[in-house]
Structure 1
Amino acid sequence: MKKNKIKFIASDLDGTLLLNGAQKVSEELIPLIKRLNDEGIIFCAASGRQYPNLRRLFGEVADELMYICENGSVIIYKDKLLDKTPMKVELGRDIIRTITGVEQCEVLVSGERTSYLKPKTESYLVRMRDIVRNDICLVDDLEHIEEDYVKISVYDPTGIENTQDYFLTAFEGRAQSCVSGKQWLDYTAQGVNKGSAIKTIQRLMGFEAEECIAFGDNFNDIEMFQSVGYPIVMRQAVDAVKANAAYETDRVENSLRKLIEKLQTEV
């Protein structure tokens, strides 16, 4: 790579930057992000999480990052909205009613920066407020919130494997759906994913695919791999995911350090 050829680096969070269930980034990541900024390289956190939740992970460099939030539905850079792709209102309402109709399942409705809940159980409220630590708003009617639906999620505390076949086919052809953890399944607007968000960023920022790197570990990172010149998969990923990446790493930080060292030697 020539100096400054790379202009953009996106990384998935859970299972990629956050290993073994970690809920905070490593201490060594922050100075690496600062060095990338010094080189004019944008670092982007790409996740199904909401924006305020993602920001909290990055401390003193939070304002300098780009964020692909809500599985690609929301893109924020330097705390300003760069792009948003909501789903149609009636589709969102259909999804909410369908999830609510399954007894053990809860609904999570995502706006641009807020999660909307009408919890069936106290344990779900506690989970979202105190464990996941989303910025939440309790409402009486999820079908009439005062902003766009950017993502709607199923939470199945018994395990999403018990209901995923139903939910994956319920809105096939109308909404994008993906399993996003042991208990979660997400819906976004049709065609929206982390890869489509990277293509939007490339268009808006004037980046070529060959100037971009993406790190990921799971099936919902495959579109991201397909959108960049340097797709890097985590070593612990399953073979079906690895087949979509040209490179492999054990830790994102190790790859970033090697990139920075290479840039230094090319000065």
Structure 2
Amino acid sequence: MIKLIAIDLDGSLLTDSKQLPPDFWTIADKLFEKNITLAIASGRPFHNIASIFQRIKDKIYFVCDNGSYVVHNNEELLTDPLDFASIKKFIDLSRPLQDVYPVLCSKHLAYIEDQNQDFADQALQYYQEFKVVEDLTKVEDVILKISLCDLKGSETNSYPFYKQFEKDYKIAIAGHIWLDITSPTASKGNAIKAIQKKLNILPEETLVFGDYLNDLDMIKEAGFGYAMKNAHPKILEAAKYTTELDNNHYGVIHTIKQLLNIES
């Protein structure tokens, strides 16, 4: 019996044009009627995710910034920030990289330095609440995640420079142009484990959907771990299951309907 469903946003629940499936709200209400807990697990910050799910924000768990911050009904279940020395190190490493723009993510605000238009067009899709500063290494706030917007492609351009730190930090290729850095214990997988522990839900009672490399450990925490049909090859290889439909054809909702025998 499924008791917890955790869903990634971009490339999974959302279409490429960032739209929810048309019957999402109806299906969500039916999940709540069945006492199934819903978690939205994303690399996005809390303010951005909450704005999308305002209608049901008091009912769902928000797994934000790749698991660095978990919130439910205004209660903080988990906060796992980076230390100041690490932030400075990673920002300094990004300086010489061409077309790479760092973003510091706090609980309620993003900090950026550069207002390059191409970067802004990408970043401001996800960071509506932001502040431009002169020097990111001097920001005084609780920083949950560093996101590098890599306009040349994160997997081939910036990731090779940060790969060396994977033993001590979570370095996640979070999208074609995004590389996310979090504390060594922060991940979507650990966030899901925290929710499971709080609600006394077993992995075999958990259904998860994801499409990219930052979803890998979350998928492994679920008895029903689904890679999207459109997922990164490494996710398709690692997941137990794959959706029949991709994100643009509402593969998440299609699978939920089939597994739980729900009609919209």
Common fold: TM-score over 0.5: yes
**C-alpha distance in 2 between matches for 1:216 and 1:233:** 5
Matches of 2:195 and 2:106 in 1, distance apart? 20
The equivalent residue for 2:103 is 108
Deviation, structure 1 residue 32: 0.6
Q: Does 1:51 align with 2:46?
A: yes
Q: Give the SS at the match of 1:45.
A: strand
Q: Is the CA contact 1:180–1:186 (under 8 Å) kept in the aligned structure 2?
A: yes
Q: 1:252 to 1:103 in 2, by over 3 A?
A: closer
**C-alpha separation between the residues in 2 aligned to 1:238 and 1:185?**
15
Normalised TM-score (structure 1): 0.87
The corresponding residue for 2:148 is 154
**TM-score (norm. length: structure 2):** 0.88
Q: Does 1:185 align with 2:179?
A: yes
One of 30, 36, 41 as aligned partner of 2:36: 41
1:4-27 alpha-carbon deviations (Å, 9 max, x no partner) = x322100111111123x1212122
Amino acid in structure 1 at the alignment position of 2:35: G
> 1:204 corresponds to which residue?
198
**d(CA) in 1 for partners of 2:230 and 2:208?**
16
Q: Equivalents in 2 of 1:31, 1:255: separation in Å?
A: 15
Query: Could you tell me which residue of structure 1 aligns to residue 5 of structure 2?
Result: 9
Aligned residues: 256
What is the alpha-carbon distance in structure 2 between the residues aligned to residue 239 and residue 136 of structure 1? 33
Q: 1:245 to 1:121 in 2, by over 3 A?
A: closer
- Structure showing greater radius of gyration is 1
Query: Of 4, 23, 26, which aligns to 2:21?
Result: 26
Counterpart mapping for 1:64-83 below 5 A: 64-83=59-78
1:215-240: per-residue Cα shift (whole Å, max 9, x none)? 11223222112111111222233553
Cα–Cα, structure 1 residues 124 and 41, in superposed 2: closer, same or farther, change >3 Å? same
Cα deviation for residue 124 of structure 1 reads 2.8
- Work out whether 1:172 is the aligned partner of 2:171: no
8 A Cα contact 1:25 1:57, kept in partner: no
- Residue 126 (structure 1) shift: 4.8
Match of 1:140 among 134, 141, 151: 134
Matching residue of 2:114 = 119
Q: RMSD across aligned C-alpha pairs, in angstroms?
A: 2.1
Identity fraction in percent: 26
2:256 aligned residue? 256
Query: CA offset at residue 141 of structure 1?
Result: 2.9
1:229 to 210, 223, 231: 223
For 2:70 and 2:157, the matched residues in 1 are separated by 32
Please report how far the alpha carbon of residue 73 of structure 1 lies from its aligned counterpart in structure 2 after TM superposition: 0.6
Question: Aligned to 1:89, which of 71, 75, 84?
Answer: 84
Matched with 1:217 is: 211
| Gap regions ≥5 residues in structure 2 | 246-250
Distance 1:56 1:24, change over 3 A: farther
Q: Is the 8 A contact 2:163 2:171 kept in 1?
A: yes
